Structure 1
């Protein structure tokens, strides 16, 4: 090789070696920066320790106790249940072979070892028609696999005319004269249940389209554009016709957490009993067997009103895929998008406070509907195998200026021991100035087990101010406020939201406006906080009113249908609202504009004050000495704490803060996004927990999950879910308790208490107004008024904070009005912290900057959203403007919230990481090899060779 060629070779090879060195150095910097994320991803939780096994065993017991009391007997004609003697049964419905245990997404849990319906019934002494069961299995049908990446809404069921042959039905009738019909419906995170079943084959594993997948299962005949997912499919209807033609004693079991449409049972006298089993989790079908056999007396109550037509609810007029559209000027329209190409979607809560039973009971009271035609089962409804008498204990009512309490004596007047739910409602005067439901749940309690002939007395209490309504229109004040309007307030002891047992009392109250001192539980007077969010461009002007018998029902119709060109140029129908370019500019400014700094100088960082986080265990949040610890944080510390908040809080070596592990979800501890997925015991759905109406049992659930979490080394729990069942179709209703804020809030508060009693902290979610899944990750603009926001959608969270002392919250994907909730100081600071007194961590929902650009990190930090739930490093972790004084000060305040929460948690037991994790050891070994290789490369490139000795001629 010539000298010139040798030089060129050295330059090329040197450049390659330097490049390898730079790549290696960069990789090491990235690995160091994201080390805690990578460690969390590769870590494996040991569920076999004695502590873990003890906790899991307890969780299984509590799980079954919940379903013992959460299964609801909706109907029981002719004493069909319990079945104490003849226990040979035919079970019809393919879903009996593959039921729905929970849902998908973060609320999922491992149900692979759960009790099956067949096992549950057999354990209770039932003999199942094995031939019929095996015939269903032999069809080869499958429960569609659905998840966040895509949903398949196929309802698996064989073709009735082919499956229910005379031969098969003859075998069934000879086996037993009793039939059970088993129906199931699923739900999950990421989308809502379809209100039209019009496929075919729209399932896409990439999640771009969702719907029924008829072609894959050969059931195109079952897709019907006149049907929705929560009513009988054509094949199910064929099955029911076949069964009712051959059996006179039929039980229907509905397995699912969404309110199923059941008006069809009125057509069949053969259907005697109806039982609903919301997501049963690990042990629920064992409870079902015991209840059907009479080994257990059902005591569950509905948490939602069952309408005869679930599409009839006012909220359904504004639900689903609603989009803003722009006129192209050529007779065509296009979906409006923001500057980052995010489609602008919305949902209008035009029904105001009239959600669930609040609408149906009020509309019936106003003469606007025929209740018996519109309602199958009221809110709070549930039957028992015994009878109870409820009576107000004489002279027990205490109603003063601040508090109301009353004692109710419950006597078992039947022949079987059981538990009873006591429900106290109130009715506030309607003046036409502030909207009010005709009845509202005020307090509830559940008795212990009462034997026949015996009694138990329960005490019901609530505050007078709890009957106040929120005056968002500023009729009584200049700021908006809670108001007790003057007039007659009534108390009623009721079986459910519709059926009264007895009037307890009534009282004329003078007007009280809580605009100066606020309510007794408020840290700051509640005033309108959301006017700037929900009264701007795009807002709703008028809401549903009960005036003149809901005469303004037309205000619910806020959407039109447009012929829209999609990206491929094809035309499709879109429901939406027409806007112009100025509206798009308006949304862009609200989503993305970062206000100029107001702070003239940055906070102190990197100080050497000699403090560690251990010094602040038990130190009051307001203590001035926190500033000494916060001053020690470097800019990089602040950035790391804020941006690396996915499934953990980050380790901060400069102040001795250990990392904590935070996991999903409402059905129990689970780590589904780890390289080593794990799942704690699968608890029942929150809907099932709500249906127990048992506060003590809900607290046991929180306590059991807390014990598991501690055994696994988990501190933060992404739960409880506290949103509202605004409609029957929300895909995530299984993660939430009820359509009622009081019931939801009381449950969330005690679950929180139970969990945090072990030193962990919850992240109540999804804060707030995340009551549909459709378009949530597009930051769907949710328009409402402050009365509905506070009374319906925030109230449950309020109980979780004020009574449960929730130490964490997860902000939602959606927006309130034009502002993403995570970037709303009104929500994060004024209401949550200043009004309710919350002192804890607010995390975002899953944060993937490139995918969800409207979730602007700096606006979140400035609004008081402390940390970002970033995924596996480095994807989704945003760049932060660390030169902005306002952003630095905000991140310092946020760090205070994180440090305060962890300092007062079991996370302090973790200690600082010292041993290198396995991936780090591998990285070091690879680094050594690379360094040796590069050094050797340079050595051989540039070593001086001895000149060759010429041989003698």
Structure 2
């Protein structure tokens, strides 16, 4: 019966985001109530049948009274369910506040978003075409994306952009007429953007074929204006990475990885498709989604053959191959405009007409051939091929398991993005210009700048200097001082990139001839390398090696404006006392289980091992070793046993005490205040289980400690609460924000976004997201800032601090090493050296945590595994590094708790993950071990949750927020009263009517 109902209701609840496994768990939990309702229904049917034998008048009374009795039983049962086993789920939905944003708040958001567009749009190419001459007042805008541009991404980073300023509106607002014939051509062709969702992906690029541009249309266009704009768009989204072989998508054979095993039935690309635009394949074999389609190539060729002045707008969140823009001399300018949110595209018209001088810089390296990148053979679908029995074992224990056990080898080590290309060029391994089109940190301006270093000083533990930025051109503009360091490198020694971003600042608007002095003080420990292999530090640690260090201010990662050198006379080992920013010295926490057995790219002998490290994978790499299998089974649902980690010396804490405290009494109290223990003593085991397990876009109310229910919501692009249907202003993708290179602007973004959360009385924010753009094909790159952790870290820290001013606790995510979507929930074993983990993938989180100045912190762990330990249950990551080394005080939540065969509540809380982003519906959520060790772990998790909540906006007032009727209470009282009145009223009316008829009949007789 339960399975039948699950099959019937699955599509309905699936559209609401409820997985089939969750629905099955709910129905199993409620099967007693379901059987009761079914039994009542059977009784009703029997009574209705038997009533046919009663007298004619009395027959109707029996039937009506039976129906009313059934509805009364149904109403009571619904109340029992909603205030019983489903209370936490229902209350989380009903008690969430619907957003009611003030006009002032919305106006503030729109203004800040517009500023992001103005400072974040990057001018990639300009031969003098921009700004356009004042006598140009009309534009021919080509490309279907011009009518339906990308404002963001999909999934948790999506937002409502229905009222957003589009590209055409931006141009029109800037004073340009646009060719309506072309616009109608595109809107007639297709009105809706293809959907790239978690369940399926339509990768279609809806571009009319070249024969749509008839002679009449092109003649009219040339008469309309001598200037053309081509808009090219590329989408991405949560749940799937971008295809590396579009021809295979077209033919339904795409598998983003080597053909080493059959993909599982529900593998993320089973519903990927492409609608071809003509009688030809729109992509040749091996061409990726980040190249032009054949139809787009023909469009570009057509436009450039008809117009001498062509502007290209790249509306993409992922770095495309853009070599084609240099193949046409007619293309005089290229603008990079990722998802711009509500008003970000307003900047396009302003830049084109010159009222705004672009100051954006790239956040990733644009390479000429993505198929020649170091990572290309180590992304996508790489499943183990000898684990069928293990997969069946896991699936038998957990219905939500997604059916794969896969791996990803981070073979490039620390040489991610520009760090590889700059270093490889330095070593003579490659010719830079042959591989890189636009460097990291690159962006043009309508003016020119000169940057010099002054007052350079070695202060012992730090260096300080000023960068003087002077506008040497003819128009006002802003510029960025990008500070890099080049460390000494010993061949075969600790791996080091030759160019590393360490700091940055952006100027204000500088008039022609004006200068601004930007002052920097950089701790030398920020230049240290992590020695995970024990080359100089056994057990791992940070070290600042002796030698000369070059500090440079650059226009981009490749172009040096000025530089200075200082010398470290002897190695400085930070593995014992730690760096000044560490609470505990960093030592190896991952290497033993994260390193894997792959060959890692090394700078030694001028990258002599490149082919071995970065070449195609070998067949044996897809065979899981017995050692790895044993480690995986350790944390797989059905085999996990937390009791073997119990400590017999642990003492059972007090449960259910009556100490008279409420959570409000701990507002502002230090984390180590003694009153926390007294408050925690008041919790029962069931209280703790509920507080930990029910974290799906909420935290629950706990009466024993006077904790109020709270709501959390997505997302990185602004307030997005699908539970209440509340959506705030659509903020831009993190990529556009990062392209501003403006810390202060990021802070103001946090303040403005935080105000929207405060207006909605929702202080838990699932964001910002700050994983690394390891590859151009990662589906959620729109949701992450950059390929560089320093840039991402400082921007995230400022955004989080701005939001914290409004009482918002930001769940910085996804912690950690979660840089691809393929197989993300399918036992994805991510292998990387500890040096790479710390220097690249943890770096933005470290900067953000250490730079936090608010009262309440939160973090979201990730779906993937680090080596052979799930991130959500990794004590080395969550306790030793996050809390121990960095000093984090707050709560950690999982990513969505579908269990997936390994997200086990008992394992998570023992490891430092406090809250499960779900509804306690899976068997893996049950706490069956009530030992002292397990109970103490649960108690610690509850403390972390409550510490975060009480220091947030939920407790910002001077009075305890506990008390009064909740939204759920009010709704049920109203429904129960109305329903009861209707049921009783009908029952009484039927009975009275029967008695009156009977009396009338008797009087007649």
Out of 789, 792, 795, the residue aligned to residue 741 of structure 1 is 789
Shift of 1:857: 1.5
Structure 1: which 5+ runs fail to align? 1-8, 329-333, 563-574, 937-953
2:873 is the counterpart of 1:823: yes
Distance 1:191 1:236 in 2: 23
Query: 2:164 — aligned with what?
Result: 114
Does 311-320 or 351-360 show the bigger shift?
A: 311-320
The 5 A counterparts of 1:20-99 are 28=80, 31-43=83-95, 45-48=97-100, 52-99=102-149
Distance 1:679 1:488 in 2: 53
Q: Relative to structure 1, is the Cα distance of residues 242 and 140 closer, same or farther in structure 2, using a 3 angstrom cutoff?
A: same
Q: RMSD of the TM alignment (CA)?
A: 2.9
2:944 is the counterpart of 1:889: no
Shift of 1:707: 1.1
Q: Relative to structure 1, is the Cα distance of residues 397 and 561 closer, same or farther in structure 2, using a 3 angstrom cutoff?
A: closer
Query: 1:407 — aligned with what?
Result: 466
For residues 157-176 of structure 1, give each alpha carbon's deviation from its aligned partner in whole angstroms, at most 9, with x where no partner exists.
1111x112222222212221
Out of 429, 440, 446, the residue aligned to residue 379 of structure 1 is 440
| TM-score of the aligned structures, taking structure 1 as reference length | 0.89
For residues 24-77 of structure 1, give each alpha carbon's deviation from its aligned partner in whole angstroms, at most 9, with x where no partner exists.
66972563354343233235645446xx32212111111111111000001101
Out of 697, 709, 712, the residue aligned to residue 757 of structure 2 is 709
Shift of 1:583: 4.3
Shift of 1:912: 2.2
Retained in 2: the 8 A contact 1:152–1:203? no
Shift of 1:413: 1.2
The 5 A counterparts of 1:441-590 are 441-535=501-595, 539-557=596-614, 560=617, 577-579=622-624, 583-590=628-635
Query: 2:200 — aligned with what?
Result: 150
Out of 285, 291, 294, the residue aligned to residue 225 of structure 1 is 285
Retained in 1: the 8 A contact 2:738–2:786? yes
Retained in 2: the 8 A contact 1:202–1:211? no
The 5 A counterparts of 1:244-259 are 244-259=304-319
For residues 223-254 of structure 1, give each alpha carbon's deviation from its aligned partner in whole angstroms, at most 9, with x where no partner exists.
43221001100100011111111111111110
2:636 is the counterpart of 1:591: yes
Query: 2:810 — aligned with what?
Result: 762
Query: 2:35 — aligned with what?
Result: none
Distance 1:689 1:820 in 2: 31
Query: 1:668 — aligned with what?
Result: 718
2:680 is the counterpart of 1:633: no
Out of 171, 177, 181, the residue aligned to residue 131 of structure 1 is 181
Shift of 1:458: 0.9
2:242 is the counterpart of 1:185: no
For residues 382-431 of structure 1, give each alpha carbon's deviation from its aligned partner in whole angstroms, at most 9, with x where no partner exists.
000011111123xx112222112211111111111110111111100111
Retained in 1: the 8 A contact 2:72–2:983? no
Shift of 1:878: 2.4
Distance 1:383 1:73 in 2: 5
Shift of 1:554: 2.7
Retained in 2: the 8 A contact 1:203–1:210? no
The SS at the match of 2:820 is coil
Q: Relative to structure 1, is the Cα distance of residues 22 and 270 closer, same or farther in structure 2, using a 3 angstrom cutoff?
A: closer
Shift of 1:439: 0.7
Retained in 2: the 8 A contact 1:150–1:207? no
The SS at the match of 1:787 is helix
Distance 1:117 1:362 in 2: 38
Shift of 1:874: 4.9
Query: 2:450 — aligned with what?
Result: 389
Out of 818, 821, 830, the residue aligned to residue 782 of structure 1 is 830
Query: 2:973 — aligned with what?
Result: 921
Query: 2:850 — aligned with what?
Result: 802
Q: Relative to structure 1, is the Cα distance of residues 48 and 922 closer, same or farther in structure 2, using a 3 angstrom cutoff?
A: closer
Retained in 1: the 8 A contact 2:117–2:344? yes
Retained in 1: the 8 A contact 2:198–2:268? no
The SS at the match of 1:121 is helix
Retained in 2: the 8 A contact 1:152–1:210? no
The 5 A counterparts of 1:592-607 are 592=637, 593-595=640-642, 596=644, 597-599=646-648, 600-607=650-657
Distance 1:430 1:746 in 2: 27
Retained in 2: the 8 A contact 1:157–1:236? yes
Q: Relative to structure 1, is the Cα distance of residues 327 and 189 closer, same or farther in structure 2, using a 3 angstrom cutoff?
A: closer
For residues 299-336 of structure 1, give each alpha carbon's deviation from its aligned partner in whole angstroms, at most 9, with x where no partner exists.
000000110112222122200111101299xxxxx996
2:350 is the counterpart of 1:290: yes
| TM-score of the aligned structures, taking structure 2 as reference length | 0.85
Retained in 1: the 8 A contact 2:651–2:932? yes
Query: 1:854 — aligned with what?
Result: 902
Q: Relative to structure 1, is the Cα distance of residues 26 and 669 closer, same or farther in structure 2, using a 3 angstrom cutoff?
A: closer
> How many aligned residue pairs are there?
894
Q: Relative to structure 1, is the Cα distance of residues 211 and 30 closer, same or farther in structure 2, using a 3 angstrom cutoff?
A: closer
Retained in 1: the 8 A contact 2:458–2:566? no
Shift of 1:455: 1.2
Distance 2:535 2:513 in 1: 53
Query: 2:219 — aligned with what?
Result: 170
Query: 2:483 — aligned with what?
Result: 424
Distance 1:203 1:746 in 2: 42
For residues 906-936 of structure 1, give each alpha carbon's deviation from its aligned partner in whole angstroms, at most 9, with x where no partner exists.
1124822521524432675599799999x99
Distance 1:885 1:19 in 2: 47
Does 379-388 or 596-605 show the bigger shift?
A: 596-605
The SS at the match of 1:406 is strand
Distance 1:804 1:172 in 2: 54
Shift of 1:22: 11
Retained in 1: the 8 A contact 2:813–2:860? yes
Query: 1:339 — aligned with what?
Result: 394
Shift of 1:78: 3.4
The 5 A counterparts of 1:256-275 are 256-275=316-335
Shift of 1:460: 2.1
Retained in 2: the 8 A contact 1:810–1:842? yes
Retained in 1: the 8 A contact 2:548–2:565? no
Higher helix share: 2
Retained in 2: the 8 A contact 1:282–1:683? yes
2:231 is the counterpart of 1:194: no
Query: 1:354 — aligned with what?
Result: 415
Distance 1:497 1:120 in 2: 32
The SS at the match of 2:497 is coil
Retained in 2: the 8 A contact 1:813–1:820? yes
Query: 2:991 — aligned with what?
Result: none
The SS at the match of 2:739 is helix
Does 611-620 or 744-753 show the bigger shift?
A: 611-620
Shift of 1:696: 0.3
The SS at the match of 2:187 is helix
Distance 1:876 1:238 in 2: 55
Distance 1:290 1:509 in 2: 52
Retained in 2: the 8 A contact 1:201–1:215? no
Distance 1:109 1:764 in 2: 18
Shift of 1:139: 2.0
For residues 552-598 of structure 1, give each alpha carbon's deviation from its aligned partner in whole angstroms, at most 9, with x where no partner exists.
01333576587xxxxxxxxxxxx961236664344112334223222
Shift of 1:271: 1.0
Q: Relative to structure 1, is the Cα distance of residues 496 and 156 closer, same or farther in structure 2, using a 3 angstrom cutoff?
A: same
The SS at the match of 1:587 is helix
Q: Relative to structure 1, is the Cα distance of residues 413 and 372 closer, same or farther in structure 2, using a 3 angstrom cutoff?
A: same
Q: Relative to structure 1, is the Cα distance of residues 83 and 48 closer, same or farther in structure 2, using a 3 angstrom cutoff?
A: farther
Retained in 2: the 8 A contact 1:190–1:774? yes
Distance 2:594 2:819 in 1: 17
Q: Relative to structure 1, is the Cα distance of residues 122 and 554 closer, same or farther in structure 2, using a 3 angstrom cutoff?
A: same
